Chain A
Amino acid sequence: MTDIATPTVEPMTSGSRGFDSQRALRVAPVVVILVLCIVLPLMLSEFWVDRITGWIPLAIAALGLNLLTGYNGQISVGHGALYGLGAYTSAILVGDQGWPLFLAVLGGALVSFAAGVIIGLPALRIRGLYLALVTLSVAVLFPELVRQAEGLTGGTGGYYITEPQVNSRGVVVDRPIRLEAPEWTGLANDQWRFYVFVVIAFACFVLARNLVHSRTGRAMIAIRDNEVAAEVNGVNVARIKVLTFGVGSALAGVGGGLYALWRTQLFPQSFTLLASFYFLVAMVVGGPASIIGPAIGAVFYGFFADVITPELPERVKPATPLILGVLLIVLMRVAPGGVVGLARTTMARFAVARAAPRGADSESAAGEDETASISRSEE
């Protein structure tokens, strides 16, 4: 099970060293991303703010998949279903039960967590391709279930998160319930929605980072790299695997819940196998087994789907999936570790090249440390 993700977690910095360049390099992308997140909505039009808002749920779901696949080595192509479960649960909690929006997202996450744990149980005995098949069946089944449970989900006709309101001509119409900017912010609704989503995403990414760097996180990675060895070393393999499935699914549920709040309408065909593949794409492009990877991957995918695709000539458009496929193959040739992997290798090479002529001990040590972490797994 070591073949799933060659690139690995960033090394745990000891903290004993000073404000070194390595740390700065690691923090820099986070700062850049955060600054972009703050500035972009103020500069872009409503249309584009709405578009990039839609990338955030994808990033969170891909983060969940990354915990499961990238860090724990369990393959899932059923994440689209757990995403959909979170989306529909949140939507129904808001639309039918009148829950507050954020509580509903939390509810969606909990339901997805529970579903993830249940799917995770058989995963204790089934591995690799066989696990992929089990999750595949979940992915295929989910849209069908949504269609069948029409009374609850609206079936093919979709679920609209609405409440009746009186319109300007005094007629009652169903208006979407959406996240609206409070007066004091002075922001437009789309901008507010984006910021709220970013804050939630940031919280999810910090939580995931802390989890990965904790004892549990090390156990997750150990299981991925060698399950037997992990067990011999006292890791409770069953508990960790089921827990990871649950947490990965809960994150998919959060992503789904935000998707529901963003769209305010859900259709079963948005949660097919394709959705699962998009998460895989985001994870792989960004760099599996890195925290920031799925976010970068989601931006790449979003950029491809929302910025590049519409610019393609009409005749080429039907071939969009093919183009994406070819791009992926090329990327895997050039940077098997995704964008993050590529950045790590480049930085390591740079560090080594810089350190060599100077021959400074500490610098070269840092360089080797980084290189080593790329080629082989962390402890």
Chain B
Amino acid sequence: MNRSRTWRAVAVILALSLAAAGCGRDDDDSGDSDDSSTDDTSASSASFIDPAEDCEDYQPTQGISGDTITVGTVRPAQGPYAIYDTVTKGVEKFFDAANAKGGVKAGDGKSYQIKLLKEDDGYDPGRTPDAVKKLVEQDQVFAMVGQIGTENNLSVRTYINDKCVPSVALATGSPEWGKAAEYPWFIGGLPSYAAEARVALEFLEKDNPDATIALLYQNDDFGKSYQAAIEKYIEDTGSQMSVVAQQPYDPNSGQTTEGVTTQLAQSGADVFFVGIGGTPCPRTLTFIPADWQPTVYVSITCSGKIALSLAGGKDEGIYSTQAQLDAASPADQANPKVQQFIQDGQAQGLTMTDIEGGIVSAGWGFASIFARALELSPTVERADIMNTLYSMQDENFGLMRDEMSVNTNDAEDPWLFEQLRMVHREGGQWVQASELVEFDGESNEFVGG
């Protein structure tokens, strides 16, 4: 009797509270309806992204308050990939430097201060969605800039795309970022890894047309895009080169690459392609046994001076690719862009070690992409920023080499950087090993798998 009475009381309370709450959450739309910016149709139908078609709940100017634009980024601040935090430092310092000079002058004629909010995901794609949701929904950022990690960015691809938040200058070159028709709110800040592998193989082939290759690849989309692109190159060109041994490496396994490197060494291959990132990449060079002397190529993601300082001096003679000016190279230091970078960077407290390290400068480059998009965009709205990035013509900015130019054309040609040069490590410096290789509009064609 008492039991049922208690539960009846519970039921009544529940029913009451349900009824009280019946009308549901206050709808945000009603509050926003007087906002003039939502009903404008500035994006013409010719634009690549048309928010009216592509977005359910388009917030064109979220994150802009007065003359401040708040942007966000997610990077690992702890763990073996925490070295990438230095990339974010570069992004931050670029904005600080721009802010100190009065801000970025956008296409609408106003100068904006840019504020960067950072979150940590420890390079764990399982943690990235929470971090990004916090930035987008709680902190209300305008865009994501220079976000680290292929898998990490993939884990929020649907979300970012659904929310119509620009994710500019991804710090990853996965061929996935070439799928602009599917996911138009992303644009990569690195050359496609597939294109990088292509350039590297073409170069190595000239030296040794029958080269045998030992491949170490990161066991995720990043590493596998090298693997697939190498296979595709050999298949497409009928090259006599061959992959004779390959080993995956799991970035979150907590192990070193010593075991897999030793296994690969047993192949005695002519070329060792190191397709991994983070500190495990330079460390791998220290694990190459003395009796194996392959031509080593390291991923563009670990070609910075700071990364290679972890190679214990084993970086001599290795190859990599470069898309930017190299502040550590005496040849490039004379370039006015590098001069400016050194001057602005030092004014923001960067040391010469930071500046020459190659990692800060990567972040500096990512931030410059966003800044350039702001400058060129007719209005500071989310869709306009993306449309600007997808319709660039002969642009050269940031730390790009003088002979480079950025050309994009919607989903036809969504890659910003489609030029690379091969570099060779000599006496702790990168020395040009080949002229800039051009592949404008072709990045998506190199993708294997």
Contact = CB atoms under 8 A, between A and B. Distances in A.
Interface stretch (A4-12, A28-36, A363-371): A28-36
Contacts of B3: 15
B250 A156 contact: yes
Interface string A332-363: 00000000000000000000000000000000
Contact of A18 (B2, B78, B151): B2
Given A169-B53, A318-B77, A34 B10 contact: yes
A23 B6 contact: yes
Interface stretch (A67-75, A123-131, A170-178): A170-178
Given A157-B221, A171-B181, A317 B25 contact: no
B151 A158 contact: yes
Nearest to A314: B118
A232 B118 CA distance: 62
Contacts of A156: 151, 219-220, 250-252
Contacts of A265: 125-126, 129, 155
Contacts of B181: 169, 171
B17 A157 contact: no
Interface string B149-187: 001001100100000000000000000000001111000
B415 to A, nearest CB: 18
B4 to A, nearest CB: 11
Interface residues on A, range: 35 or more
A151 B120 CA distance: 29
Interface string A150-186: 0000011110000000011101111110000000001
Contacts of B184: 169
A169 B53 CA distance: 8
Contacts of A45: 137
Interface residues of B, number: 44
B134 interface: yes
A47 B24 CA distance: 16
B54 A267 contact: no
Contact of A47 (B25, B120, B134): B134
B250 A187 contact: no
B25 A191 contact: yes
* Centre residue among B2, B3, B220, B251 by max chain A CB count within 10 A: B2
A316 interface: no
A24 B3 CA distance: 11
Interface of A: 15, 17-19, 23-24, 27, 30-31, 34-35, 38-39, 41-43, 45-47, 50, 144, 147, 155-158, 167-169, 171-176, 186-188, 191, 263, 265-270, 310, 314, 317-318
28 contacts: A15-B3, A31-B9, A31-B13, A35-B13, A35-B17, A42-B24, A42-B25, A43-B25, A47-B134, A47-B137, A47-B138, A144-B253, A147-B250, A147-B253, A155-B219, A156-B151, A156-B251, A158-B151, A167-B182, A171-B182, A175-B158, A265-B155, A266-B126, A267-B126, A268-B252, A269-B124, A269-B126, A314-B118
Interface of B: 2-3, 5-6, 9-10, 13-14, 17-18, 20-21, 24-25, 53-54, 77-78, 118, 120, 124-126, 129, 133-134, 137-138, 151, 154-155, 158, 181-184, 219-221, 224, 250-253
Given A35-B13, A45-B137, A158-B125, 5 more contacts: A42-B21, A147-B219, A147-B250, A157-B154, A318-B78
